[in-house]
Amino acid sequence: MTSEPRAVVVDGLVNARDLGGLPLVGGGETPRGVFLRSERPDRVDADGWAALHDRGLRAVLDLRQPEERDGHPARIPEGIADLHVDHDGLRDHPTFWAHYWENGLVGTPLYYLPHLAALPERTVDVLAALATAPEGAVLFHCAGGRDRTGLIAAILLTIAGVEPDAILEDYLETITNAEAMAAGQGRPSGEPAVAALLDSLGTTSEEAFRAFLAGLDVEALLAALPAEQATALRTWRGRLPQP
């Protein structure tokens, strides 16, 4: 992995980073300037958006529920496509979510594989949006950039063939950033509660995420996409060699 920082430094974001620069299993690294991840960008001002545009950003994909978007809308300027996919599907699938929402598991990796099994179309729709976004860098985000964003980032990094430990490190970086991010959003960090919940279940965020990676089947997700979209993701929009 190169020493060049992956963090995207823009006022209003503390959990933004490039998915480029991570080591591949067979050597080399993921390309920079293709996919970026972050928390919700509603605090980014005009200067911040201009800086993101200057570094090649051409699309923002919001993974939040409609109510979340309405509550904290991002002021995305012209020249950057504003894309939305409700990854959760809470409104359409309340029965699935009842178990995870009521006990706090929605804030942990323990819901990732069940969500992929029960509602795969939600993730497939996100992947399709990433594959077909306008040419240039694409920033995808949820609220905190931890779970929905972390799940999608892990899928993209797995597709590219990133070393599993590096995928884990990318995920854990959000936990490191959690306190500063929560302060910026004017709320307490939820990480202590998440850690306590997972501890009560005999696991940790790291262990739960490793289990998610071990059970992740990216080929099934890619098979649900049209061939051109699957190829775009396998090659990260033409920047990685064709497998």
- On whether the CB atoms of residues 212 and 112 are closer than 8 A, the answer is yes
pLDDT tens for the 243 residues of the chain, in order: 455 789 999 999 999 999 999 999 999 999 999 999 999 999 999 999 999 999 999 999 999 999 999 999 999 999 999 999 999 999 999 999 998 988 889 999 999 999 999 999 999 999 999 999 999 999 999 999 999 999 999 999 999 999 999 999 999 999 999 998 888 888 899 999 999 999 999 999 999 999 999 999 999 999 999 999 999 999 999 999 887
- On whether the CB atoms of residues 198 and 108 are closer than 8 A, the answer is yes
pTM surpassing 0.95? yes
Helix-strand-coil split of the chain, %, nearest 5: 50, 10, 40
Nearest to 120 by CA among 225, 232, 40: 225
Q: Read off the tokens for 170.
A: 């990318």
Q: Provide the 8-state DSSP code for 142.
A: -
DSSP helix/strand/coil, 87: coil
Hey, what CATH class is 17-234 in?
alpha beta
How many angstroms separate the CA atoms of 209 and 112, rounded? 9
